[in-house]
Amino acid sequence: MPTSSSSARTPRTDPLTLEVVELIGTVVARYYEEYEEAAAEHALTGAQARVLGLLSLEPMPMRHIAQKLKCEPSNITGIVDRLEARGLVERRPDAADRRVKLAAPTAEGVEVARGLRESLNFAREPLAELSREERLALRGLLRRMLGEEI
């Protein structure tokens, strides 16, 4: 029989926890499926769309993009190269440190990123059916799961 200290380290596998984990997995899978479809409508890969979406929030160095997307900087360089060739992204010096190059969306890149966001109905439509209080509660729970401050 496990001791209380070992049971404290054992992941919870009660039916409710397992169901919630499965539901989260289903939501993530559907989101990525829809994101890939939306990206393809703009002749982009999912990775290119994610980088463009991130850059539409703020220009940033490629190493920061890699950190946020949890991938190798060399992968980001290739993605930014392809986005730049399409006229969706440009490289520019960082005003704070001219040795650093920022990847930034062009005006066309901002429009494409906006179109991508607007075409993602999977999560937005069901969330719109929740009350403001329910959406605030869900946001708080998700932030807590991610270890973010509320």
Residues 111 and 135 in one domain: no
Q: Greater confidence, 123 or 96? A: 96
Question: Residue 68: is it exposed, middle or buried by C-beta count within 10 angstroms (0-12/13-18/19+)?
Answer: middle
Q: Is residue 2 part of a domain?
A: no
Cα–Cα distances (Å) from 85 to 4, 89, 93, in that order, read 59, 8, 18
Domain that holds residue 100: 15-119
pLDDT at 126 over 80: no
Mean of per-residue pLDDT scores for the chain: 88
Residues 85 and 142 in one domain: no
Residues 111 and 140 in one domain: no
Segment 84-111 shows an average pLDDT of 94
Total of domains in the chain:
2
pLDDT tens-place string over residues 37-59: 989 999 999 999 999 999 999 99
